[in-house]
Amino acid sequence: MLRFLTAGESHGQGLLAILEGLPAGLRVEEERINLELRRRQLGIGRGPRMNIEKDKVQIISGLKKGITLGSPIGILIQNRDARIDKLPGVFSPRPGHADLSGALKYGFSDIRNVLERASARETASRVAVGAICKIFLEVFGIAVSSNTINIGGKTVVEEMFNQVKLAQMKKDTLGGIFEVLIEGLPAGLGSYVHWDRRLDGRLAQAVISIPGIKAIEFGLGFGYAECFGSQVHDAIYYRKGKGYYRRTNNAGGLEGGVTNGEPILLRVCMKPIATLKQPLDSVNILSKKSGKASIQRADICAVEAAGVIAENMCAFVVADAFLEKFGADSISEIKANYLNYRKKIG
């Protein structure tokens, strides 16, 4: 089983992650991980924190001469802006954030105790983990990518830029929609035998856990609601040398929670950032007096970055499912298992 844990606060000393279950024999280059971390910091509408943090990973365990040992991989990303003990308290929760619910849940009188961990800064750890999983998947010809298709209702790049400029001028924020595409997968990953082993459910949970994500669909998604079954289900064909294939992919690569050999396509909606420069009404949790929500340093729009995070979360989930099917203790054993399976299914 592949699993990971993260730790760290937005303005703490750094972010930590431990990735367990990766087989021995995989070459991992830190620069490949750093590339994904840089991609996470890019995109139109990003905030000033991106100019402060120059995220670089340190792998502190699990490798010898750049090759995995099969033991847990320890990952560290240092924070440059490490002022957690010096920053002022926060007492007016922001609508749309975890501020109020988190403070009530844990009994905090200072909302900073919530926002330091609830911050999307934590996702840098997830990207680092996912980047390693991408390296693993590439060995077997599997690629994960993302594409921004809508920001603030605009679908043309120039119009997206203009919409973000407008939001900036209005001291407002924007959300949007991105796609994640997973190519090169064999049929047979995931399982229909239990609800928690269905791969679409696992992918959905991983992606919906990213801060700001509010909706997800696979393949045709909500479009299924408007059609007859005869119009939307992907007919099956077979050709010697190619095996089973489809001419359409409305299912988005998954049927019954199992990959069917077509690319996995999922579409994801991110809400506008919850921190507004012209804040909404709120209540001070100490005095209970009405006022405006707190203002924190934040992005105007982070849809492109969310796509990168989702890519890497999907890479983790798919790598886990791949190891369930072909798992062994070393890359060489997994390759043999995988090749035998591909021969069997044609």
* Contacts for 307 with CB less than 8 Å, ≥ 6 apart: 146, 147, 148, 178, 179, 180, 268
User: According to DSSP H, which parts of 49-181 are helical?
Assistant: 49-52, 99-106, 112-118, 123-138, 157-169
* Residue among 247, 304, 260, 294 nearest 274 (CA): 294
State whether residue 183 is helix, strand or coil. Answer: strand
Residue by residue, pLDDT tens for the chain (346 residues) are 899 999 999 999 999 999 999 999 999 999 999 999 999 998 887 766 556 668 999 999 999 999 999 999 999 999 998 999 999 999 999 999 999 999 999 999 999 999 999 999 999 999 999 999 999 999 999 999 999 999 999 999 999 999 999 999 999 999 999 999 999 999 999 999 999 999 999 999 999 999 999 999 999 999 999 999 999 999 999 998 888 999 999 999 999 999 999 999 999 999 999 999 999 999 999 999 999 999 998 899 999 999 999 999 999 999 999 999 998 899 999 999 999 999 998 7
Q: What is the pTM of this model?
A: 0.95
What per-residue confidence (pLDDT) applies to 49?
56
Q: What integer pLDDT is reported at residue 50 of this predicted model?
A: 55
* Domains in the chain with CATH codes: 3-345 (3.60.150.10)
Residue 233 has what DSSP assignment?
S
In angstroms, the CA 5 to CA 304 distance is 24
